[in-house]
Amino acid sequence: MMLFCRYLPLKPSLVIVLASAVLVGCDPVQPETLIDNNPVTPSPSAQNVMAAGSLVINEVGSSYYSNTMRWFELYNPGGTAVDLSDYQLRSLAYDGASTVTTSLTFSLPSTTVNAGQYLIVRAQSLSSPAVDTSRVVHLEQGGWYPYWDSKGYLELLDTSSGSTVDFVTFDTLYSPTDAAAWSGGAALTLVSSTSSFGQSIGRNGTSGDTNSGSDWSHSTWATIGGPNDVLCNTDADGDLIPDCNEQSGTTFAGMPLYEWGARSGQPDIFIEVDYMNSSDEGIIPRQEALQSVVDAFAARGIGVHFDVGDLFDNASGTDPAQMDLGGGGQVPFATGITIGSGAGVADLYDYKRDYMAYSRLPIFHYMLFANSQLSTGAAGSSGLAELVGNDILITLGNWGLNSATTADLNVLINYQAGTVMHELGHNLGLRHGGDENTNDKPNYLSVMNYLYQLNGLPEIGNDEGDRFYYSNSYHARNATCYSGLNQGPDESYTAFRLDYSNGSAIDLNVASLNENLGLGETGSDNVDFNCNGDGTQTGVNVGSGTWSDHDDWSNLQLDFGGYDLLSNQGISLRSIQQRQSENLLRLPDPVGNDRSPVAEETARLAESLPSAYFLRQQQRASQP
């Protein structure tokens, strides 16, 4: 696993000098030397080429780490398509080790940039080369990579003539090939720090092209792959969306978020949902399941907006009421898949790269309904997600889920709803024990808890220990205490209890439980923790430690940028499974770098079983 090292740059006294840095752990990857390699002498008589159909540099992303895959955005404002190979890029360049040169010209690949299209250009990865698409290309030339930090420049050149097509310089005044391509001082400094992820400088959408720094402004929110339409710097509701872009008549990177349901003063979560091409009903999103999740969040004043494309409305265009925001849709089938690389399985990141618009990266989560996490395609873990991230796998393929009967349909809907909300919870910073990884705490009434992911939450005061009695980790449906689930997954999905915890339960001493306190909630009834038929005992010992509740709702982390993460798999179909550790990669910068090394979570054995109803159906299906 490659470690990306942080360094603290010290501002050099001159542009062409030795640049020093303070290292913070692991092997250094920061540039040490800045050299002037064939500096350009501007030609006063040259003319700036800005003909109709020419490309313009529209936005430049902030970068801090030296090995970040830096990005900038090109835009075709003309009425005809152009070939990118007709242009070259001149910029600072980094050799991947220790040196930055002040001038290197990069060839651009042949790809069509249509009229009105935004194209992302990124520095190629130093470790594992990324694949070009019609929306993003990657640059590396002879072991050199485009580079900038708080200062730098980008010059777009005409390949045939070598003249300047467009130019921007920031912080430090660099010179274009053609003097007429820039006038006055440099554009404002491009913020470069550990907190600058997702920021940019961009062309002012309302001003003309004067070839000067006045054409450019800083934005806290990059609008990668779309117009620069953010006109404020406030996000009072903390949902990653500028407040001014949650107003009627506005857009964010061209997306009409207000029309899609976003409101200022209300935290909003947008989720693109793709689903694999399959007849397996477990892989096809159910509108009722997604609506159950929407309703659970709405009860807490949070807007969740799913985008499954045309699946529910079966019509072109968009229809927010039918969860169609024009982005989600059906994607090719893969037998097995994980998040990141895995032996013999597909990679969610490849699907995200190919099917989700770049303009959505700063604010959308990506959810893929897929078959299995196993290379064989067999039924296994129900899901996988990043912790404080933006990527989610739902893998309910080959679980035998169907809609043949009312009970079957309820199970299908409730399993999908519980798994979607569980995995989304990981994206929002929740673990299986809330703020810890301890699972199956009965007084932690949350869909994050394996006791309640598939079976729903118990009803306090009405046999509230039923899920505890049901659990394979505790009593495995011992008839002495277990008589069935109250409002289980095979019953009406409209009454299925789906929620995160509010943290209201008292702590329970596992070595000395008072069964009269039940799960420790207001209104709790007795729970027969040792399953001996007497639910009124005190001092009951069923283990060690303390079962603690957690206030999930007050601790959701909507900001999925700039964090490390742990892997999080959903509940497994199998009763006993050694869950393997995963190295999951995601955007530490939701715009600039889609993958980074992460911490690992080693999972426990003996995962909870699916519902008794589901097991009965599986047994019946296997009988001759």
Task: Give the CATH number of the domain where residue 196 resides.
Answer: 2.60.40.1260
Closest CA to 448 of 466, 424, 473, 472: 424
Cα separation values, 611 from 129, 470, 499, 526, 575, Å: 44, 9, 18, 23, 11
| 200-203 and 268-276 strand pairing | unpaired
* Domain with 382 in it: 267-429+596-606
Same domain for 423 and 453, yes or no, is no
155, 187, 219: which is the final residue of a domain? 219
Q: What is the pLDDT, as a whole number, of residue 127?
A: 86
| 99-107 and 87-94 strand pairing | antiparallel
Cα separation values, 161 from 112, 136, 146, Å: 20, 25, 22
In a domain, 71, yes or no: yes
What is the Cβ-side half-sphere exposure of residue 582, based on CA atoms within 13 angstroms? 28
Reduce the DSSP state of residue 420 to 3 states and report it: helix
163, 187, 219: which is the final residue of a domain? 219
The single-letter DSSP state of residue 180 is G
DSSP lists the bridge partners of residue 187 as: 170
Q: What is the pLDDT, as a whole number, of residue 230?
A: 94
Q: What is the pLDDT, as a whole number, of residue 47?
A: 31
Q: What is the pLDDT, as a whole number, of residue 206?
A: 58
Closest CA to 21 of 252, 103, 30: 30
Same domain for 525 and 403, yes or no, is no
Same domain for 348 and 215, yes or no, is no
CB atoms within 10 A of CB 166: 25
Task: Give CA–CA dist 505/385, Å, rounded.
Answer: 27
**Residues 606/472, Cβ–Cβ less than 8 Å:** yes
In a domain, 462, yes or no: yes
In a domain, 583, yes or no: no
Same domain for 425 and 445, yes or no, is no
Place of tokens 């008839």: 479
Beta strands in 487-550 (DSSP E): 508-509, 546-547
In a domain, 504, yes or no: yes
In a domain, 260, yes or no: no
Same domain for 105 and 210, yes or no, is yes
What is the domain count for the chain? 3
Same domain for 449 and 417, yes or no, is no
In a domain, 228, yes or no: no
Task: Give CA–CA dist 412/407, Å, rounded.
Answer: 9
Which residues have a Cβ under 8 Å from the Cβ of 146 and sit 6 or more positions away?
Answer: 70, 89, 91, 92, 93, 94, 106, 121, 123, 139, 154
In a domain, 480, yes or no: yes
The single-letter DSSP state of residue 609 is P
Same domain for 92 and 148, yes or no, is yes
Burial class (CB in 10 A: 0-12, 13-18, 19+), 231: middle
Q: At 276, which amino acid appears? A: M
CB atoms within 10 A of CB 545: 11
Q: Return the biggest CA–CA distance within the chain.
A: 96
Full DSSP string of 271-331? EEEEEES-S-TTTSPPHHHHHHHHHHHHTTT-EEEEE-TTTTT-SSS-BGGGTB-S--EEE
DSSP lists the bridge partners of residue 324 as: 319
Q: What is the pLDDT, as a whole number, of residue 192?
A: 87
Same domain for 278 and 388, yes or no, is yes
Same domain for 499 and 524, yes or no, is yes
Same domain for 379 and 487, yes or no, is no
112-169 pLDDT, tens per residue?
999 999 999 999 999 888 889 999 999 999 999 999 999 999 999 999 999 999 999 9
Taking 50 as the pLDDT cut, the residues of the chain under it are: 1-32, 37-52, 562-624
